[in-house]
Structure 1
């Protein structure tokens, strides 16, 4: 089935002659005379007026789907081509089931916004209502986190309480020996440092205890011992990060610490803005988010058909802010008042419309895109020495993915996202682990096929142990096949969407496509995108990958191939137990009628090696045969091994890897 994108109307959105909107009360009015599928609420100055969709569309209003059944374009479907993951996406967004289809126990929630699936407004409404009833919020010391600069990294999971007990004992000995109190000891040369250490550890103890109180109040932590950081507390901190879309490792520093310095209302309001931002981008098919503005390496201006120069607008913020204002929820207090007056059922089928400035004139039904992926600073040297010690490899330029629009002989940057390139990774071969350089191909490619909810087929080099996982279910530990790793899943190696990088190897122009295994794809391993490497693919944060490829499909003619078919059965052994992995699809396929050119630039090569090392290196601590053929470097002119199309993704890890960390980059857009 072919789908033609629709161009925006010629009339600028707004109130035309004779279309004065009569506003109603502050609560969404009930309406039964207009069929649900035609019902739209025009929002203006915090008031809602019901209208028929055709009437609203006629006058150029922007319509945003706020219903519980709203999905981004990549998860749209037709009767002839149903999208299998669409229902899973909605079940997760609405807290109905987990990703495996199991109903959520009472009081449990899917905190998967950080993984690309924002909560529905029904779920957010319940969150506002539930938090209003929690009296414990009034007993929390939120101000502590706004003032402190302390960090608790709990290396080795050592208890802060144990640390303070040790310092307290040492301080008591000093007090007994000198007869002085803490204030007096702080003024002595001998004990000033000890008092400073005591104050520091006391502050950490207070921080951990306040965090635990907050987590318990928020329903994320049941039981705890003040100051004792257990795996349960760490999981609760990570759940807090996931709930509030905080990029972190589950340690009390940086953005995570700042998150505890916001009230529940402030965090809920931030979630509301992100949810509305997602719905605006899905419904209006826009992508310009300010990520190309103010960069020395990009020109963020363009000229219209009359030669007038314009700055690339931040359409995402512009229209999201306008929708917040017109709905009357543009402050935390207004949002609280709004949500406490309504019930979750109001959002079951809600669509709203608002008047706003017209889109830039370059918006068309079929837009001419191109992509540039800059590999940034690249090291071919191994990141560790023979003893396994990390080598210092500083970078100042991280990889990036920039979407351009070719319009009137101009190359206009629309959005720029952080991404990854290949690097040194662990590889399993012949029963042993090695280090191998898994590079990203440079030069011209195209995006031709886009897969929603793609499936990653583990290559032979995948360690079998990574294909199973253990988890606690109903108080018991079970081991099963790691289906989330493979997909379809937000946690799969390809995330929620992937575009294949292919080359045209034809000499006669007829199209001879070669797939070397590189993809641009979403990823649940969100911290790796900021500071680590892939197996060659270009990872994106799941929510941005959804936005990018939904935008492309909104504005590019394509074929909807639908759910692909696959027969894949693999048996493997871990320990003494045999396992089976069965797959029946590669994902839901869209094929662009005109492929999008993608240029992968080589970046800046740093270090001693100027070309990738062809071969493998030993992993420190592993035992190898003296004549291990895998440890022999290949000649520089050796032919490359055939690419395994799935090998480029590699298994996902949400924990920091044992590779050297890179300096932190700019924060990702949320």
Structure 2
């Protein structure tokens, strides 16, 4: 690789990523820096060879100095003609943050060892995580076909840079496909409003559009505009007094139909129709089931939360060029790597919640809350020259050459690459052992049964939704870091003696702690779990076959507990001074069902988006003392029959366990209780419209139906 190409990847100067370190050291001269000037002004920076060995101090938990590469690429913006490698500990000692851009990257919760500590313990899910990120395997561990992709950002697994480069290199073919099909990005106007998917509504809309078009063309010909009608130049009818009304009526359908039609072109060219599931066929302009599922795939690919309905956000994104879209994906990928390397969590949510909040540092200066995630991502993009969509691919290629320069580097992969960048200074409250605490506000609570005696649904509106806030205490000040939507328990269906009832799944109120953090947690189905839910249909060698369903049990992003979970336990001190714990099965955990976090309820647990749960618990472990207990070993499972076939489910682990030395206090508030009841029902309630007469005859007189173990954990997910 040429020196000029390497030099183009410049790194921006800023402050150390570890506020506990010594004064920042100038990377060129190795002298202390004050007010942007060398304290030793007599030394010639241009001739220094970086030979000075600085004391790196003890390894922090964000350090990469134990990485097998041993060196990181540092390119000084003041010496663009001399890019060089530097030992990781020396780069860190000089105030750089070392970021892993390689294909083997994974979040901190999936590491095998704590930097500076001899506690290696294999984290089993780590290899599967990187396999998913690199589009090598699917959730079941089966090899992906060459044309298949995992779009898992919404589930906490961003793609590797190799995947991003491959996607970027396919853009010319994608753009040619779009051009050949007459793709027009200008039709994607977010002001058009929502276009919701409803069965048969799409075909009805298309018929109305055709009728309105025929009527408009007829009136255009009557008004002497036959040539325009033949050329389908309908805009010519917009101002003519004889055709204006017909044109406006036609437009009420045409705007939506054009959005659908051109979205279908985009989905086809991006291979987002589910051909294998028989949903690859569609009628142009008809918002049918296949298009609905293709839109959902588009949302997953581009990290857009939605249900496969056309809304302002995804309509606007469809208006982006393929280059702009893949660049946004690159931004998100680099953001995750940067946030992980820096060990930060602040994303602006706390700042938006408390815009006027100020804290005072040790020097008496006041500071507001920040979006460190955004700031640090922007700094990394600028440092690596990846902030311009039009030139980013070339920059990625140069970085890729660095990654594959070694003789043993895997062909065609982004390989292993560590880069050292300077990031903005951390806030003063950062340290190796931060005093965290958590408040979960349950928001508006309704304990009333949600149906009346006639079986009509009762309105139970919520204006105040549940939120989780992570705080740190610094110099006597309690500072919010993130403020995120979460879930609480409510009424859920429950099988009792083969009949469906409703039971209130309460979220415990009061003081709890997080002590156990489980990466890739496993949910063990109780004996009452219906056997049908323990199997699934899967395409095996071109045929649909029924297999054991490990999706909900995990480990994996689809599991009931997502990619990471913290156990809520209550501590009790006995008279002899010993501490006992009470675990009611409540967890704070990630969730594959990302839309439920905005609107719905859980079985008692506090759900977070998988990506947020991974970020938060990684950051907590990076700034809190813990014991790495490693992969738990159990021998759970069951044999069962379903539709005259025998199956065996085997679960050999509960996940990878970290135990905090000092638990983190968690306070779950009562919230704002609304309605007539002030406490939850403790017994199951009959479901409206269900005939329980046969079951009731078998019960002793005056006895209510007995509750059996639910099909999810007690208090469950």
Same fold (TM over 0.5): yes
Q: Deviations over 1:458-514 (max 9, x none)?
A: 234544332222234454322222201110010000000000000013333421101
Secondary structure of the residue aligned to 1:512 is strand
Distance 2:74 2:220 in 1: 75
CA displacement at 1:213 relative to structure 2: 0.3
Q: Deviations over 1:261-306 (max 9, x none)?
A: 222112112111111111112111111221111425x863211123
1:242 to 300, 309, 328: 300
Provide closer, same or farther for how the CA distance between residues 518 and 184 of structure 1 changes in structure 2, counting only shifts above 3 A: closer
State the match for 2:69 in structure 1: 37
Please say which of residues 516-525 and 249-258 is displaced more in the overlay: 249-258
> Where do 1:517-532 residues align within 5 Å?
517-532=585-600
State the match for 2:61 in structure 1: none
> Where do 1:141-290 residues align within 5 Å?
141-146=184-189, 148-156=191-199, 158=200, 160-166=202-208, 168-169=210-211, 198-221=250-273, 223-290=281-348
Provide closer, same or farther for how the CA distance between residues 176 and 69 of structure 1 changes in structure 2, counting only shifts above 3 A: closer
> Where do 1:114-125 residues align within 5 Å?
114-125=154-165
> Where do 1:530-541 residues align within 5 Å?
530-541=598-609
User: Is the CA contact (8 Å cut-off) linking 1:366 and 1:555 kept in structure 2?
Assistant: yes
State the match for 2:60 in structure 1: none
Aligned length: 626
State the match for 1:311 in structure 2: 368
Residue 432 in 1 paired to residue 473 in 2?
A: no
TM-score by length of 1: 0.85
State the match for 1:498 in structure 2: 565
User: Is the CA contact (8 Å cut-off) linking 1:216 and 1:223 kept in structure 2?
Assistant: no
Distance 2:563 2:710 in 1: 23
Q: Deviations over 1:537-559 (max 9, x none)?
A: 00000000000000111111111
User: Is the CA contact (8 Å cut-off) linking 2:70 and 2:87 kept in structure 1?
Assistant: yes
Provide closer, same or farther for how the CA distance between residues 167 and 279 of structure 1 changes in structure 2, counting only shifts above 3 A: closer
TM-score by length of 2: 0.80
Distance 1:453 1:146 in 2: 41
State the match for 2:477 in structure 1: 410
Distance 2:571 2:293 in 1: 47
Residue 399 in 1 paired to residue 434 in 2?
A: no
User: Is the CA contact (8 Å cut-off) linking 1:423 and 1:534 kept in structure 2?
Assistant: yes
Provide closer, same or farther for how the CA distance between residues 93 and 21 of structure 1 changes in structure 2, counting only shifts above 3 A: farther
Distance 1:21 1:108 in 2: 50
Distance 1:310 1:497 in 2: 32
User: Is the CA contact (8 Å cut-off) linking 1:515 and 1:645 kept in structure 2?
Assistant: no
User: Is the CA contact (8 Å cut-off) linking 2:206 and 2:286 kept in structure 1?
Assistant: no
Distance 2:375 2:698 in 1: 55
Secondary structure of the residue aligned to 2:188 is helix
State the match for 1:104 in structure 2: 144
Residue 82 in 1 paired to residue 122 in 2?
A: yes
Gaps of 5+ in 1: 1-5, 24-34, 651-670
Please say which of residues 588-597 and 374-383 is displaced more in the overlay: 374-383
1:60 to 83, 95, 98: 95
Residue 357 in 1 paired to residue 424 in 2?
A: yes
CA RMSD of aligned residues (A): 3.4
CA displacement at 1:425 relative to structure 2: 1.1
Secondary structure of the residue aligned to 1:270 is helix
Distance 2:445 2:300 in 1: 31
Please say which of residues 613-622 and 365-374 is displaced more in the overlay: 613-622
State the match for 1:338 in structure 2: 395
Secondary structure of the residue aligned to 1:484 is coil
